[in-house]
A and B are shown apart, each in its own frame.
Chain A
């Protein structure tokens, strides 16, 4: 009896192999190689329809980090003074260190956000499960994402109720710290008991084995159509990066 209508999705594994390769380059390769890859990545994002999301994330999380990193490391590292702004002297070793950190971080963040802007988390989860990943771990991830939204709403309601009872955020740190427990206890209590009930339901659905064939819980939610040429090309790119790295170590 068919009770679930499968959703068919296409997935090209090339994008995740490229992301893994870039993260590998960010850790294993020299700054010159990293800079070349970063330039290529930035050019690729310019043509991406999701570039606004990628750039917004970069501006919000990475750019302030990079700017402060340049100031702190530029000033406090030893070395030759490159330039000065008033009493602040920026030294070469610090600026080089900050540049290395900046390029590495930019590579990782841009590649990961580029990847997630292209693929939905449910599709990745189903794809990983179809490739043999532990379904329980995928379920934990999806459930925790869903619970964050539910718990945030509940917390907001508890906060409003506590505010009506006199919670005042302008008082001393110790007084404010005392407000934390009346917010956390009802939140934890309700979601702990709900999680225990959910556990009973999962046990009833035989969700205990890694990939139990008889389990109703392992019926796929969607059918993933993976692109074989993308898979092969992705593996070749990753293997090429590893080979270049090993060759660089030997030569």
Chain B
């Protein structure tokens, strides 16, 4: 009976399971692409945003979780602790996709900036409590700067996140917009949540 299908069943079923796995793998592989062409960004949420957009928020949350689990188990354990951040990214991008922000590039960018702010709020206590504000990323010098001007450790990590994440997420949202506009419609129309975006 269609009514009895839960939200989980709607977004995690035989059709969407390979898509979620693809999104998780895309998050990891885009990180490698960014390193290959030496871009000063992370762009490690593109798969999460894409799947949240074409399947739904719950699928996006699962995509981010599995990407971080895979990264954590095979590459760097630090990623496991940032799963709450990926949950926020998946949920937020799924809901804004329903509002149609990916229909135009000039609506995708502000949504990405807002997403970056939210990610900074969630990641700051994790980075401060678990890692003492140091994550070995290129933005650690910003933490150092804010500490030098007298901010507390949580404030420093939060301000560092506010300085770096909105740009990163705005670019990620823009890339997802371009991906959606360049992938053939015959493929997009087969995606279970694409009609809602």
The interface of chain A, by Cβ under 8 A from chain B, is 57, 61-62, 64-65, 68-69, 72-73, 75-77, 97-98, 101-102, 104-105, 108-109, 112-113, 116, 121, 136-137, 139-141, 143-145, 147-148, 150-152, 155, 159, 167, 169, 173, 176-177, 179-181, 183-185, 187-189, 191-196, 198-200, 202-203, 205-208
Given contacts A169-B37, A180-B34, 18 further A-B contacts (CB under 8 A): A65-B131, A101-B132, A105-B130, A108-B77, A137-B12, A141-B69, A147-B24, A155-B29, A177-B39, A180-B43, A189-B184, A193-B187, A194-B22, A196-B187, A199-B14, A205-B14, A208-B13, A208-B14
A140 touches B62 (CB 8 A): yes
Q: Which residues of A contact B37 (CB under 8 A)?
A: 167, 169, 176-177, 179-180, 183
B70 touches A148 (CB 8 A): yes
- B17 CB contact (under 8 Å) in A73, A97, A121, A199: A199
Confirm or deny: B15 has a beta carbon within 8 angstroms of a beta carbon on chain A. yes
SS class of chain B's interface: helix, strand, loop or mixed? helix
- B22 CB contact (under 8 Å) in A77, A169, A192: A192
- Smallest CB gap from B144: residue in A: A72
Q: Which residues of B contact A121 (CB under 8 A)?
A: 73
Confirm or deny: B98 has a beta carbon within 8 angstroms of a beta carbon on chain A. no
Q: A72-B133, A97-B132, A140-B24 are in contact. Are A152 and B32 (CB under 8 A)?
A: yes
SS class of chain A's interface: helix, strand, loop or mixed? helix
A184 touches B30 (CB 8 A): yes
CA distance A143 to B70 in the complex (A): 10
Q: Interface centre among B66, B134, B178, by most A CB within 10 Å?
A: B134
